[in-house]
Structures are given as C-alpha cells and as structure tokens.
C-alpha cells in the first residue's frame, strides 16, 4: 500500500441531451452526448482506520449552504469507497480528501467526477486490480453520470445515461462555462419537464431525440456545425424554474459565442467559441457583465478519471 494516491476527474458538458418519457423505474430514457472538459476535481486517498472524508474548494464555504457538499457517508465518494471495498473483499480503510474546482449543483457532474476519481484512487491505494468493466459496473450503481466520468473524452450515453460508447472527435472544442447564481436541483428540472409535457407546453416525447447531428458535427472538428447541432431538452424547464437564465444565454451570444445552451439540468451556461483565443476573450467579457458568479474557459475532450503524480 502506498502513502497517498491522487486522482482527478473532469467536468462534463452535455452537447446533446434528448429526454424520453418517464420509465417505470423512475428514470427517463436518454440519448445524450457527453463531452469531458478541462475543469477538474481531485481526490486524494491515504491509508486510514475506517473511512474519513474532508472536502475543500468550490462550493464548500458557508455561502454554499449547509450540507451541499456532505463530508459523510451520503457523499458519493464515501459510497464509492464502500462499494469498491465490498466488491474487492478488502477493508474500507482510507482517509479521503476532495479538492473541488467544479462548481456544485451546476449541471457539470462534479459529484460524479468525485466518485469516479475515488474509484480510481482507491483501486490503486488498495491494490484491488479491478478491471475496467468492474469499475464501470460500480460506477453505474453510484449514478447515471459516473461511468462517463471514468471514461471521459466524448461519448454517447444511453439508458439513463450510464451506458457509454466513445464518440470520435476531429479536434478540441473551446467553451466558456458561466455559472449563473444558485444551483438547480436535477430532479426538480426533470419534474418540470414532465409537468410541461403533460400540460401541453412542450410536445410529448415518444423517445429521446437522436444524437446523430451532434456526433457528425464533433467528427468534423468544426465549431460552426457543432454550434448548429447543440440540443438540450432540459433547457425549457430549467428556464421556467430560473427565468434569469434567459439573460445569461443572451449575454453569451451577445458577447460573441457561436451558440450557448444550458448544460444538463443547469444552471451553467455553456458557450461555444470558435477557437482558444476567442474563448479567452469571451470569458473576460462575460466575467464583467455581472450575470455569472463564476466564469471558466475550458476545452474538450479530455481524459476521464486518472491517477496523477
């Protein structure tokens, strides 16, 4: 057993999110295209007696509200440790530290990234030698986005999002992530989608909308067709729950983004830039308009959860 293992995992943007009807198990059938971007959380794992967990960084201060990033067994990192220990038949002994850079409750899968990084770090710390398939199976039990956080890159997610297949990309794309105000509850956004469909405010969906246009655009490596193909079925309910996001989307396009959409269940706005230099300029302008509490220039695809020096 080593003294410490450090792993990191990236945030994600859903460049396509097609949501089908509610399933009998309480989940929605999805066709989503994930893109892992260069904003990372880090998990450090050390030998310990039993499990302990500390969390620092983005979203962990007093302003974030009590319990938003729990430091107990309700955190996905703790659950990941227990699952891996049970699977491998080892004692769940580790001191875990999470350093967050991914904003909390922002539709960027920060909690899923933490869980994926914990699986990778603890597999190395405990020497469990879990196969990739084993880790993906454990990840799917932890949450719909956790398998992608392990895989990274760009991928098509089906089922409830946990079944991932790699997608080829022609080049990296450049984005500015603008986190607007307080977080949005993912269950609340899905619930609002169901309500709007039942009320006729949105068309009923026989199944998720196909992801083919976005996949084709990613393969070209050209930002223009990607901008035209961006889709998120959760954007209308997110805008209903948070009308101020309309101003945030408009601010991004007014500042020169090729396109902007709500990422996942929100409230992050993902603004696509033509290239890296344009993304830097766009981030600087959006940081000054007073709409976003946090602005980050990122690019993707990047690898999933990995052990780092």
Residue 91: other Cβ atoms inside 10 A: 11
Residue 278 near residue 173, CB atoms below 8 Å:
no
- Looking only at the bridges linking them, the beta strands covering 306-308 and 94-100 are unpaired
> What does the block give as tokens for 216?
């084709």
Q: Is 166 left (phi over 0), alpha (psi -120 to 50) or beta?
A: beta
> What does the block give as tokens for 87?
């699977």
Place of tokens 């990995």: 306
Residue 112 near residue 68, CB atoms below 8 Å:
no
Residue 260 has phi, psi (to 5 degrees) of -145, 145
Q: Give the C-alpha separation, 249 to 261, whole Å.
A: 7
Catalytic residues: 12, 145
> What does the block give as tokens for 242?
């948070």
Residue 34 near residue 154, CB atoms below 8 Å:
yes
- Looking only at the bridges linking them, the beta strands covering 5-22 and 28-46 are antiparallel
Return all residues near 131 (Cβ < 8 A) that are at least 6 apart.
Answer: none
> What does the block give as tokens for 85?
């220990």
């Amino acid at each position: 057993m080593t003294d410490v293992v450090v792993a990191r995992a990236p945030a994600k943007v859903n460049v396509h999110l097609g949501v089908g009807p509610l399933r009998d198990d309480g989940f929605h059938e999805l066709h989503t295209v994930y893109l892992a971007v260069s904003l990372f959380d880090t998990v450090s794992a050390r030998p310990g007696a039993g499990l302990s967990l500390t969390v620092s960084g983005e979203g962990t201060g007093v302003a974030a509200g009590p319990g938003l990033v729990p430091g107990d067994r309700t955190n996905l990192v703790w659950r990941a440790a227990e699952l891996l220990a049970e699977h491998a038949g080892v004692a769940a002994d580790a001191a875990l530290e999470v350093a967050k850079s991914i904003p909390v409750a922002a539709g960027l899968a920060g909690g899923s990234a933490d869980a994926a990084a914990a699986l990778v770090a603890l597999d190395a710390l405990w020497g469990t030698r879990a196969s990739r398939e084993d880790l993906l199976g454990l990840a799917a039990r932890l949450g719909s986005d956790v398998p992608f956080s392990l895989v990274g890159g760009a991928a098509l997610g089906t089922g409830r999002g946990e079944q991932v297949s790699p997608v080829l990309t022609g080049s990296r794309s450049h984005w500015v992530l603008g986190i607007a105000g307080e977080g949005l509850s993912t269950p609340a956004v899905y619930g609002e989608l169901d309500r709007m469909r039942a009320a006729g405010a949105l068309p009923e969906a026989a199944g998720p909308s196909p992801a083919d246009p976005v996949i084709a655009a990613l393969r070209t490596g050209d930002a223009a067709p990607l901008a035209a193909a961006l889709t998120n079925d959760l954007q209308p309910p997110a805008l209903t729950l948070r009308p101020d996001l309309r101003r945030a989307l408009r601010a991004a396009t007014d500042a020169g983004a090729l396109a902007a959409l709500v990422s996942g269940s929100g409230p992050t706005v993902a603004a696509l830039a033509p290239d890296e230099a344009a993304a830097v300029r766009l981030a600087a302008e959006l940081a000054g308009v007073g709409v976003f509490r946090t602005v980050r220039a990122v690019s993707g695809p990047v690898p999933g959860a990995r052990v780092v020096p």
